Amino acid sequence: MNKLEIRPARPEDMQEVLELIRELAIFEREPHAVELTGEDLLRDGFGQMPRFKCFVAVANGRVKGMALCYPRYSTWKGLVIHLEDLIVTEAARGQGLGSALLTAVIRYAKEEGARRVSWEVLDWNDPAIDFYEGRGARVLRDWDVVQLDARGIETYLERYENI
Amino acid sequence: MNKLEIRPARPEDMQEVLELIRELAIFEREPHAVELTGEDLLRDGFGQMPRFKCFVAVANGRVKGMALCYPRYSTWKGLVIHLEDLIVTEAARGQGLGSALLTAVIRYAKEEGARRVSWEVLDWNDPAIDFYEGRGARVLRDWDVVQLDARGIETYLERYENI
C-alpha cells in the first residue's frame, strides 16, 4: 500500500465510512443494528451543529480506516474527547493504520484543549488492553456501560414521567 | 422538604452544582481530582458552545441534586444523550430526587430526538444496577472504560506523533 494519508473526513467520504461501520457490525454479528444511513452521517457530521469529528486513513484513493470522535464533559476535568469508533478494513490491518488514526485523535484532543481522551474496550480483548496501557492509558475495570434504547425511552416515560 | 422543583440549571446555580460535584469526590476519596472551577462550569454550560445540559432539584431555595448530560454519537444509532453525573446531597437522599432527575434527563433525550440514553455504573453497585435494569436499561458488563489523561496525552504525542 503506498501513499497512506490520514486526514479529516470530507462529506464525500461518508459512504465509505458507513461501509466500514457496517463491516464491523457484520463481524460482530449484529448487521441489523446499524440504523444509521449515509444521509444521517452527512447531516450529523457536516451540518450546522456537527455532532462528531471523523478522521480517515486513505490509500490508493480508498478509505481503508476511520476514527470517529466527539466532545464529552467530565465534571472533574472539563472537556474530554471520546473516541467512539476506530475501524480498519480487514484487508488493511497490521500496517499501522489504526495506530496512526489513534494518534490523529489524540493530537486533535490536544488542539481542542481536552483534559482527557476516553474510549471503550471489550474486557476480554487483552491485546488491545495491553496496547492501550503500553501507550499510557488507564483501563477502568470496575465501571460498566448502561444503555436505555429508543424503545426503553418510550416505555420509561410512559411508566414514570408522571410519578 | 416542601416544594421540590426539577428544572434546567441557571448560571447562578453553578456554584451549588460545583459543591455537589465536590461532595461526591470527597465521598469517593478523591477530593483533589476536581480540577473544574465555577467559572469553568459557567463558560462551558452557558457560553456560545454549551458543552452540557444540567438539571437541578431545588427545595427550600437550595440545590439539593443535579444531573448533568450531553450529546454523544453512536455509529449504529445516531444521537445519544449521555448522563455524566447524577448527584443528590447526602441529607436529601431517599426522597425520590434522583429518580425525578433521571426522568428529566430521559424526557430531555426524547425531546432532542436521541435514540439512546447512556450512563456508567460501578459494577459492584448491585442496588443501582437492579434499579436501572428494573427501569428497562441494559448493563453492558463486558465493556471497560479507557482513559488517557492530560499528562498521558502529552507523553503519547511526544513518543508517537512522528512515527
Strands (E), chain A: 5-8, 53-59, 62-74, 78-88, 116-122, 138-140, 143-149
**Average pLDDT by stretches of 10, chain B with 163 residues:** 87 98 93 95 95 97 98 97 97 94 98 97 93 95 95 96 76
φ/ψ of B85, rounded to 5, equals -145, 140
Backbone dihedral region for residue B117 (phi beyond 0: left; psi -120 to 50: alpha; all else: beta): beta
Beta strands per DSSP E along B46-150: 53-59, 62-74, 78-88, 116-122, 138-140, 143-149
Q: What domains sit in chain B, N to C, each tagged with a CATH number? A: 5-119 (3.40.630.30)
* Residue A86: C-alpha distances to residues B53, B60, B97 (Å): 27, 48, 38
Q: Which chain B residue shows the shortest CA-CA distance from A101?
A: B161
Nearest Cα residue to B1 out of B90, B95, B66, B86: B95
Name the stretches of chain A with pLDDT < 70.
1-2, 163
pLDDT at A85 (0 to 100): 96
Q: What is the pTM of this model?
A: 0.94
Selecting among A70, A132, A156, A160, the annotated active-site residue is A132
B76, A35 Cβ separation under 8 angstroms: yes
Query: Are B73 and A79 within 8 A, CB to CB?
Result: no
pLDDT of residue A163: 66
Res B162: pLDDT: 78
Cβ under 8 Å to B: A residues 37-76: 40, 44, 51-52, 68, 70-76
Partnered with residue B81 across adjacent β-strands are B71, B117
- Letter string b/e over residues A54-89, b meaning 16 or more CB atoms within 10 A of that residue's CB: bbbbbbeeebbbbbbbbbbbbbbbbbbbbbbbbbbb
Q: Which residues contact B92 (CB under 8 A, 6 or more apart)?
A: B1, B57, B59, B64, B65
Chain A hits for B132, CB-CB cut-off 8 Å, are 146
* C-alpha distance from B61 to closest chain A C-alpha (Å): 22
Q: What is the 3-state secondary structure (H, E, C) of B14-69?
A: HHHHHHHHHHHHHHCCCHHHCCCCHHHHHHHHHCCCCCCEEEEEEECCEEEEEEEE
Mutate one of A52, A146, A155 to test the B interface: name it (highest B CB count within 10 A).
A146
What pLDDT does residue A3 have? Answer: 83
For residue A32, the distance in angstroms to the closest alpha carbon of chain B comes to 9
Residue type, A28: E
Q: Between chains, do A36 and B78 touch, taking CB under 8 Å as contact? A: yes
Of chain A, the end-to-end C-alpha distance in Å amounts to 60
**Alpha-carbon torsion, ordered A70, A71, A76, A78, to 10 deg:** 150
- Contact list in B for residue A123 (CB cut-off 8 A) is 142-144
Residues 105-144 of A with CB under 8 A from B: 106-107, 109-110, 114-124, 129, 132, 135-144
CB contact under 8 A, B77 and A35: yes
Query: What local confidence, expressed as pLDDT, does residue A54 receive?
Result: 98
Q: Length of chain A, please?
A: 163
| Residues A65-77 pLDDT 10s | 999 999 999 999 9
Residue-level pLDDT at A161:
85
